């Protein structure tokens, strides 16, 4: 029966272990879960299938390697194991598979396997064990209960202390209230008598006139007027020029200026601008004045093509 311990060893690395002529143990992956505040890591569940009884060589070869025998001898040991299992099960006994569960026949003579797995068969979750945790709701209830207990204890202490203070303070307040009343009655009587004597005295009938404070009004001295000094405001520089001609040759520009003089206009050469000599009839500070001058010139010399040049 010690051969049954090899089944769990093989299930750690295999999903199915078949005992030839008897049945197979099959594992299924089981996810991690939470049940009643209990956290379980991922593992494997084990089931038994009587129909998986063919020889795949896995169990016999493992027995041969562990028992240090050849394949034929290992096969004989497995056959004897199967005969013993069938005999004991039909006799009503329960067969314990180490670390996996129990095999037995039920009332309907069906072979039943009850898994009782010891440890975790999933080697990927090696070292992980089940653990319980306190739920958040239970933790909050515990905190509220503790806070209520502390609050009630504080209130009881405060009430006892305040009661003692009140009992001590009552006679002190009564003593302080009685003593000033005795002193105040004598003081009031004395003050009333002195006031009556003052009213009955003839000096009290005379009313003293208090001097009235007079205020003198001082006339404001005449402030000499200062005449504003007019300053010479410089005129704005001319930025807009009325151009009536442009010549590349300076001699032609001078000849055009003389022709303008014969017509009554005074032209000026602004110099070479963009490779040309600009002839202007005048400069202006704003664009409106320049446009008015252009309209006057075009009225006298229509078709001359005069335009406004803006100096940057």
Per-residue pLDDT of the chain in tens (312 residues, 90 and over written 9): 688 988 988 988 888 999 999 999 999 888 887 766 677 788 888 999 988 889 889 999 999 999 899 999 999 999 999 998 988 888 888 999 998 999 999 888 889 999 988 888 777 776 677 767 665 556 666 677 666 666 654 444 545 556 666 666 777 777 776 665 555 544 444 444 554 455 555 544 444 444 444 444 444 444 444 444 445 556 678 889 989 888 888 889 899 899 888 888 888 888 888 889 998 988 898 888 889 888 888 888 776 778 888 887
* Predicted local distance difference test score (pLDDT) of residue 210: 47
Residue 59's Cβ-side half-sphere holds a number of Cα atoms within 13 Å equal to 30
Q: What is the per-residue pLDDT for 59?
A: 92
Residue 214 confidence (pLDDT): 42
What is the 3-class SS of 144-171, one letter each residue?
HHHHHHHHHHHHHHHHHHHHHHHHHHHH
Alpha carbon distance 148, 12 (integer Å):
53
Phi, psi of 241 (to 5 degrees): -125, 140
Query: What is the distance between the alpha carbons of residues 21 and 54, in angstroms, rounded to a whole number?
Result: 6
Domains within the chain, CATH numbers bracketed = 2-132 (4.10.520.10), 240-310 (3.30.70.1070)
List helix spans (H) across the chain.
Answer: 5-11, 58-67, 71-90, 136-200, 250-262, 287-300
Q: Report the C-alpha gap between 197 and 71 in whole angstroms.
A: 144
Residue 79: what pLDDT? 92
Q: How far apart are the first and last CA of the chain?
A: 114
């Amino acid at each position: 029966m010690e051969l049954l311990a090899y089944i769990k060893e093989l299930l750690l690395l295999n999903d199915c272990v078949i005992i030839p002529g008897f049945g197979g143990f099959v594992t299924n992956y089981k996810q991690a879960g939470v049940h009643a505040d209990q956290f379980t890591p991922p593992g494997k569940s084990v089931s038994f299938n009587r129909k998986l009884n063919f020889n795949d060589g896995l169990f016999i070869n493992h027995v041969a390697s562990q028992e240090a025998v050849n394949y034929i001898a290992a096969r004989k040991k497995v056959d004897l194991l199967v005969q013993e299992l069938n005999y004991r099960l039909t006799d009503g006994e329960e067969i314990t598979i180490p670390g996996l569960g129990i095999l037995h026949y039920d009332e309907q003579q069906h072979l039943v396997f009850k898994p009782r797995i010891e440890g975790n068969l999933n080697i990927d979750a090696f070292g992980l064990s089940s653990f319980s945790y306190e739920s958040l709701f239970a933790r909050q209830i515990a905190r509220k209960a503790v806070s209520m207990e502390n609050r009630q204890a504080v209130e009881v202490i405060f009430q006892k202390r305040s009661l003692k203070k009140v009992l001590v303070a009552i006679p002190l307040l009564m003593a302080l209230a009685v003593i000033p009343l005795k002193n105040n009655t004598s003081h009031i009587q004395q003050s009333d008598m002195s006031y009556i004597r003052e009213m009955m005295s003839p000096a009290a009938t005379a009313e003293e006139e208090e001097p009235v404070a007079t205020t003198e009004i001082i006339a404001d001295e005449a402030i000499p007027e200062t005449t504003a000094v007019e300053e010479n405001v410089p005129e704005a520089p001319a930025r807009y020029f009325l151009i009536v001609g442009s010549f590349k040759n300076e001699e032609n520009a001078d000849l055009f200026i003389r022709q303008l003089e014969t017509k009554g206009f005074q032209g000026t050469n602004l110099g070479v601008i963009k490779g040309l000599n600009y002839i202007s009839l005048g400069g202006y500070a704003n664009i409106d004045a320049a446009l008015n001058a252009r309209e006057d010139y075009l009225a006298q010399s229509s078709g001359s093509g005069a335009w406004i040049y803006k100096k940057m």
